[in-house]
Amino acid sequence: MTRSRSAIRLPVASLALAVLCVPFVAKAQSDPGAAAPRERTVLRAAHLVEPRTGKRIDNAVIVVDSGRIVSVTSGGAVPAGATLIDLGNTTVLPGLIDVHTHLSGESHDYYTDLFRHSAIDDAVRAHVYAKRTLEAGFTTVRDVGAPELIDVALRNAINEGVVEGPRMLVATLALSATGGHGDLNGFSPYVHVQRMSNIADGVDEVRKAVRVNVKYGADWIKVLASAGVLSEEESVGAPQYSQEELNAIVAEATTWGRKVAAHAHGAEAIKRATRAGVASIEHGGLVDEEGVRLMKEHGTYLVPDIYTDAYILEHGKEIGLPDKMIEKERQLRKAQNVNWRRAIAAGVKMAFGTDAGVYPHGTNAKQFKHLLELGLTPLQTIQMATSNAADLLGWSDKVGTLVPGAWADLIAVSGDPLTDVTVLERPAFVMKGGRVYRGAAAADSGGAR
């Protein structure tokens, strides 16, 4: 979404002061499974699907210890002394992953959200959204842009077990050009909102902006490479960073061991970001043939947030979006399914990201049925939200799979997700790091909190 709420550069002096006063310790890449229960738990379910292979196992027995998966077998024995969780006639899958969320906010009324709420309002609500997301079966998210480093605070609080939520990889303040999608535009030059932001122009400034984000705890770097829907620019797809600037952003991020996600609707912005070496193109609805070829060549992931688009068209008025924005969405909608289909046909890698926060948190799984409109199979949509997403995050051995050694993040659904993806909208059971967060069995496992 990247609502352009942040506007004014905080003077460097106050940033420096903030550093001195607030020990805002970044805990990037710490093992979020650390608080896992130590006892051995065994889960039994009628079926299990391993998305990597698409294989289904019947009479699945999953052994979990210290927050990790020990073994997955068909009809295996339950070890003595283990706590048994019987999931009955359900299908177990790895916990789902959404690679494009904004847990720090939720659209209720555009101008109220923008001007009547402060970052403190956002911060006190964010943990509610995080819990909702986890209980909906999304055990990992990549959160791609938040005001005031709320994402860092939320991630750290979840990792420390203070609040409940998914594992979070966070991008902090999205980099935006002056007047770009992350800047406050469409208002009088005298309208100022005092918020942290990362408006940066030119090679030197964008490099510094990356460093600032890393300094305060960013796991990822998010750049707004093109215009967007939920801001008052005229265009939805115009490029907003030069090739030189995008190259510098990716080079600087790489130096610090971070990957880059680029918000890009327009064809030219997609190509520039892809050439620069970003890991994923967010939205990507106006990608052209050359862009598809470049993405395929560079192994760049596409994150088509098809559910948000449908939501904006259906509910845009209710959430107070100016007509201009709804019209931009309408224009986008005309072209993007065709373009996304072209990318899929060419074999561009696809990951599941929804722009959660534009629509109510916790309904992320509604995107699965919309993805079928692009000609994907149910298994392919599940792979987007598990094995593919994990690959994009660099966490293939940890999440999105049920192989031994992976974190014990899993869900159980009633019905067959390989024939009806809507069953993913109602998980009966959710476990993260060996702890139960949803399901009747929670009380039995000793893991409920």
Q: How far is the CB of 375 from Zn ion (least distance, A)?
A: 24
The 356-395 contact track toward Zn ion, x by CB under 5 A, reads: ----------------------------------------
Q: Judging by DSSP bridges, how do beta strands 280-283 and 429-432 pair with one another?
A: unpaired
Nearer to Zn ion, 181 or 207 (CB): 181
Based on the shown chain and the rule CB under 5 A, indicate whether residue 183 belongs to the binding site for Zn ion: no
Please identify which residue in the block is written with the tokens 């352009």: 4
Question: Using CB under 5 A as the criterion, what x/- string covers residues 310-349 for binding Zn ion?
Answer: ----------------------------------------
Q: How many CB atoms lie within 10 A of CB 164?
A: 18
Coil, helix or strand for 47? strand
For the chain, counts of helices (H) and of strands (E): 14, 17
Give the shortest CB-264-to-Zn ion separation in angstroms. 12
> Which SS3 state, helix, strand or coil, does residue 431 take?
strand
Q: How far is the CB of 144 from Zn ion (least distance, A)?
A: 6
Return the range that interacts with Zn ion (CB under 5 A); candidates 18-26, 72-80, 192-200, 354-362: 354-362
Burial class, 258, CB count within 10 angstroms (exposed 0-12 / middle 13-18 / buried 19+)? buried
DSSP SS3 for 255: helix
Closest approach of Cβ 353 to Zn ion, in Å? 8
Q: Which is nearer to Zn ion, 355 or 391 (CB)?
A: 355
Taking the complex as a whole, how short is the minimal distance between the CB of residue 359 and Zn ion, in angstroms?
Answer: 11
H or E element at residue 12: helix 12-21
Considering all CA atoms of the chain, what is the largest pairwise distance in Å, rounded to the nearest integer? 70
Stretch that binds Zn ion, among 1-9, 269-277, 296-304, 343-351 (CB under 5 A): 1-9
- The interface mask with Zn ion, positions 136-175, x = CB under 5 A, is ----------------------------------------
Query: Quick check: 229 binds Zn ion (CB under 5 A)?
Result: no
Residue selected from 106, 268, 355, 391 as contacting Zn ion according to rule CB under 5 A? 355
Task: For the CB of residue 100, give the shortest distance to Zn ion in the complex, in Å.
Answer: 6
Q: Which stretch binds Zn ion (CB under 5 A): 179-187, 237-245, 296-304, 350-358?
A: 350-358
Q: How far apart are CA 418 and CA 280, in angstroms?
A: 26
From residue 288, give the alpha-carbon distance in Å to each of 235, 266, 291, 331: 17, 9, 5, 16
* Count of chain residues binding Zn ion (CB under 5 A): 3
- Is the CB of residue 275 less than 8 Å from the CB of residue 201? no
Determine, following the binding rule CB under 5 A, whether residue 1 of this chain makes contact with Zn ion: yes
- Integer Cα distance of 328 and 227 in angstroms: 11
Q: SS3 for 158?
A: helix
Residues of this chain that bind Zn ion (CB under 5 A): 1-2, 355
